[in-house]
Structure 1
Amino acid sequence: MPEIEITNLYNRKIITNSLEKTALEIIHENFIDWMHACGKKGRCTSCKMIIEKGQENLAELTKAEERFRNQNRLADNERLACQAILKGDIKIKVAERNKFPHMDYSD
């Protein structure tokens, strides 16, 4: 079963049997707050996640993600959590600019 590890949330691990869902859907199903200003539509970058390991375990970039890459708003090691479909284990962290003030981060 695939696992999402969020390193700057004290290495919190989510084990799921939910393949074919976005990383954001799985994160929210596990009661973790994760920013998504546009309502999970891929219209902003507020749900950006930094991929530390397992980039190959995410589905191909969506058109929205390609657009943000072309605008230099999404680096090679970043994906939109609302768009990236999980295929296997990933290790991620919340981007600094997308951290919530009410949450305690480990870095």
Structure 2
Amino acid sequence: MPKIVIENLFNRTINFTDTSRKVIELIHENNIDWMHACGKKGRCTSCKMIMVSGQENLSSPSDREIYFRKLKRLGPNERLSCQCSLLDGEICIRVADINKFPHLEYSE
């Protein structure tokens, strides 16, 4: 069963079966606040997730992710949660410091 673990949110875990969904949709459906300034359209990088492990389990980078990598707004270990799906297995991610909400408590 596919699984998302958010490391710096106290290893919050999301189990699911529908691999056609974007990562950000799964996060939001599990009542976890995750930043997204452009409405999940891939026009900004506010929903980026830092990949700790499992990047090989995600869908291929979208055109938008490639575009932001060329601009150096996404690093090699970062993906846009609004642009990728978890196809199988597990990913472990972190919320980027710049995208943390002040009303949430984060672990380190």
TM-score above 0.5: yes
Moved over 6 A (4+): none
Identical aligned pairs, as a percentage? 57
- 1:25 is matched by which residue type in structure 2? E
CA distance in 1, matches of 2:95, 2:102: 12
CA distance in 2, matches of 1:54, 1:81: 14
Alignment pair present for 1:53 and 2:53: yes
Q: Deviations over 1:1-33 (max 9, x none)?
A: 100000000001010112011110100111100
C-alpha displacement of 1:35: 0.2
Match in the other structure for 2:9: 9
Match in the other structure for 2:91: 90
C-alpha displacement of 1:84: 1.1
Written as runs of structure 1 = structure 2, the 5 A alignment for 1:57-72 is 57-72=57-72
Q: Deviations over 1:54-101 (max 9, x none)?
A: 000000000000000000000000000000111121000000000000
Structure 1: runs of 5+ lacking an equivalent: none
- Please give the secondary structure, in 1, of the residue aligned with 2:92: strand
8 Å CA contact 1:27, 1:34 repeated in 2: yes
Question: If the length of structure 1 is used for normalisation, what is the TM-score?
Answer: 0.98
CA distance in 2, matches of 1:35, 1:22: 14
- Please give the secondary structure, in 2, of the residue aligned with 1:67: helix
- What is the alpha-carbon root mean square deviation over aligned residues? 0.6
The aligned length equals 107
Structure 2: runs of 5+ lacking an equivalent: none
Match in the other structure for 2:78: 78
